[in-house]
Amino acid sequence: MILTWLRPNRIAALHIRIKPMFEALRSRLSAWAFDKSVPTPSIDQLMQLISDALALVDFNFGVLRDSGGDLQEYGLLLISLRLYHLLWPATPSRPAAATPPR
Lowest pLDDT segment from 37-46, 58-67, 85-94: 85-94
Does pLDDT of 37 surpass 90?
Answer: yes
Averaged pLDDT for residues 25-53 = 89
Q: Where are the domains of the chain?
A: 2-86
- In this prediction, residue 5 carries a pLDDT of 63
Measured CA to CA, the distance from residue 9 to residue 6 in angstroms comes to 9
Strand residue runs (E) in 8-66: none
- Cβ atoms of 102 and 96 within 8 Å: the answer is no
Burial of 53 (0-12, 13-18, 19+ CB in 10 A): buried
Q: What's the chain's average pLDDT?
A: 79
- Chain centre to alpha carbon of residue 58: 8
Burial of 98 (0-12, 13-18, 19+ CB in 10 A): exposed
